[in-house]
Amino acid sequence: MTATATRVLVLNSGSSSVKYQLLDMADGRRLAVGLVERIGEENSRLVHTPLATGGEKRETEGAIADHETALKAVAAELSADGLGLDSPQLAAIGHRVVHGGLRFTEPTVIDDAVLKEIERLVPVAPLHNPANITGIRTAQALRPDLPQIAVFDTAFHSTMPEYAARYAIDVETADAHRVRRYGFHGTSHAYVSRRTAALLGQDPAEVNVIVLHLGNGASASAVAGGRCVDTSMGLTPLEGLVMGTRSGDIDPAVTFHLKRVAGMSADEIDELLNKKSGLLGLCGDNDMREIRRRIDEGDERAALAFDIYIHRLKKYIGAYYAVLGRVDAVVFTAGVGENAAPVREAAVAGLEELGLAVDAGLNAVRSDEPRLISPEYARVAVAVVPTDEELEIAQQTYALVSA
Ligand SMILES: Nc1ncnc2c1ncn2[C@@H]1O[C@H](COP(=O)(O)OP(=O)(O)O)[C@@H](O)[C@H]1O
Ligand SMILES: CC(=O)OP(=O)(O)O
Ligand SMILES: [Mg+2]
């Protein structure tokens, strides 16, 4: 790293999207931000904003077949503004990696052995680790000289106590196959719980928070004094809340039932639960905006899907309230949590006895800033705190390479 190399590029490769940010860590400035979505479909879209040059947001529509093509398109957009990957000011590239298993609980410099381990974990993050690996390989090919750092979704949850991390199954079988609860979205849960403490004007070590990360994938976590003590995702990002296309919690016997009675294979059941379930399976749409629009038009299937989503969410709020004993804040984040006021209102409705309430006026405000939405009299704060996984990854990446 040269003395002038203070920039970090962050790649957050999801199952069908890539989010990215280029930051200058010397002054914290965001130089470029962007998103490629609907990768693999006909109507992919790249949105790129070159903040450094004050340039306008640029949108490109058209099929982007895979993650490698997407990343090359991102590199070309950055180059067009003189912010290309060939820049000597680039210190490192930080990658979100979803599953780090038991081995990775800290940001890690990626070498062949690390990449091999991330590959070994593909069966327990089938929608995510392959995309992360493509991101790493493509970035390595473009800048083989630069440090590439992996920041793991599972890392923040590694502090979960054993009684929260273990499934109640035979210990030998579980240990032989590393079957346990790992938890995901950890970078977001860490960032948002810390940011919530700041919003309350308190030390993170003093604050107990329930974080509801509601994106396409969704998870809840109970954070006590800055440490995760429980989270809703498990061995894989399938457990827990109802999600865009994932079922979340079900009786495990549903899987053998479908195998024995419906003759489905393990792969077919995997695909059913990960890609054809959740809101999509319940009503045909996985986007909360579309579901709300249908509900407003009187669509009963969309209304039932919404009710199932909220019922599960409310159960986790109650469960984590009990786990924490004392709760200072319940905080909503990610695409649904930050934008869908009806979800926030419904999730907290009826929980007044727990000290939880939402102020309708505050809840209706649209903003990119962290904010309280609970009335002043409420014992527990309810907040909306936009997540910034890319900033958190950039900070952890830069801390490692500049140490
Ligand atoms: N204005 C909005 N109102 C309601 N829901 C929204 C809005 N904007 C985005 N969403 C929801 O957020 C989801 C995407 O969230 P995001 O956190 O970006 O997910 P991911 O990182 O898993 O791709 C969309 O699928 C949609 O359901
Ligand atoms: C782990 C996970 O579910 O991630 P995402 O929400 O990006 O799909
Ligand atoms: Mg996400």
Coil/strand/helix, residue 375: coil
How far, in Å, is the centroid of ligand 3 from the Cα of 14?
Answer: 7
Of the listed ligands, the closest to the CA of 131 is 2
pLDDT in tens, 280-311: 999 999 999 999 999 999 999 999 999 999 99
How far, in Å, is the centroid of ligand 1 from the Cα of 339?
Answer: 8
How far, in Å, is the centroid of ligand 2 from the Cα of 26?
Answer: 30
pLDDT in tens, 158-173: 999 999 999 999 999 9
Architecture per CATH, domain 202-384, reads as 2-Layer Sandwich (3.30)
Task: Give the contacts of 72 (CB within 8 A, at least 6 positions apart).
Answer: 138
Q: Would you list the DSSP string of 213-251?
A: EESSSEEEEEEETTEEEEES--SSTTSSS--SS---S--
Residue 128, amino acid: H
Is the C-beta atom of 15 inside 6 A of ligand 2? yes
Of the listed ligands, the closest to the CA of 153 is 2
Residue 184 alpha carbon, nearest atom of ligand 2: 1
Nearest Cα residue to 5 out of 98, 90, 94, 111 = 90
Residue 215, marked binder: yes
Residue 337, marked binder: yes
Residue 281, marked binder: no
- Using the structure block, give the residue that is written with the tokens 């705190």: 385
Task: Provide the β-strand partners of residue 383.
Answer: 331, 372
Architecture per CATH, domain 7-152, reads as 2-Layer Sandwich (3.30)
Amino acid 55: pLDDT: 85
Domain extent listing, the chain: 7-152, 202-384
Nearest CA to ligand 1 atom 9: 335
pLDDT in tens, 114-158: 999 999 999 999 989 999 999 999 999 999 999 999 999 999 999
Nearest CA to ligand 2 atom 3: 217
State pTM to two decimals: 0.96
The CA distances from residue 99 to 66, 102, 133, 275, in Å, are 21, 9, 11, 18
How far, in Å, is the centroid of ligand 3 from the Cα of 304?
Answer: 25
The string over 65-76, giving b where at least 16 C-beta atoms fall within 10 Å of a residue's C-beta and e elsewhere, is eebebbbebbbe
Choose, from 24, 145, 153, 267, the residue flagged as catalytic.
153
pLDDT score of 2 more than 80:
no
Residue 314, marked binder: no
Residue 289 alpha carbon, nearest atom of ligand 1: 4
Return left, alpha or beta for 178; rule: phi > 0 is left, psi -120 to 50 is alpha, else beta.
left
153 is catalytic: yes
Amino acid 41: pLDDT: 86
Q: Would you list the DSSP string of 82-150?
A: T--TT-TTEEEEEEEES--TTT--S-EE--HHHHHHHHHTGGGSTTTHHHHHHHHHHHHHH-TTS-EEE
- Using the structure block, give the residue that is written with the tokens 């680039």: 90
Amino acid 14: pLDDT: 83
How far apart CA 261 and CA 222 sit, in angstroms, is 38
Residue 339, marked binder: yes
- Does 7-152 match 202-384 in CATH topology? yes
Is the C-beta atom of 278 inside 6 A of ligand 2? no
Pocket test for ligand 1, best of 274, 287, 332 (most atoms within 8 A of CB): 287
Average pLDDT score, the chain:
96
Residue 19 alpha carbon, nearest atom of ligand 1: 21
How far, in Å, is the centroid of ligand 3 from the Cα of 125?
Answer: 14
- With a Cβ cut-off of 6 Å, ligand 1 is lined by 14, 17, 215-217, 244, 287-289, 334-336, 339-340
Pairing state between β 381-384 and 329-333: parallel
Residues with CB under 5 Å of ion ligand 3 are: 215
Counting residues of the chain whose pLDDT is more than 90, the rounded percentage is 95
pLDDT in tens, 226-273: 999 999 999 999 999 999 999 999 999 999 999 999 999 999 999 999
Amino acid 16: pLDDT: 82
Nearest Cα residue to 240 out of 359, 320, 173, 304 = 320
pLDDT in tens, 177-235: 999 999 999 999 999 999 999 999 999 999 999 999 999 999 999 999 999 999 999 99
Is the C-beta atom of 215 inside 6 A of ligand 2? yes
Mean pLDDT throughout 324-332? 98
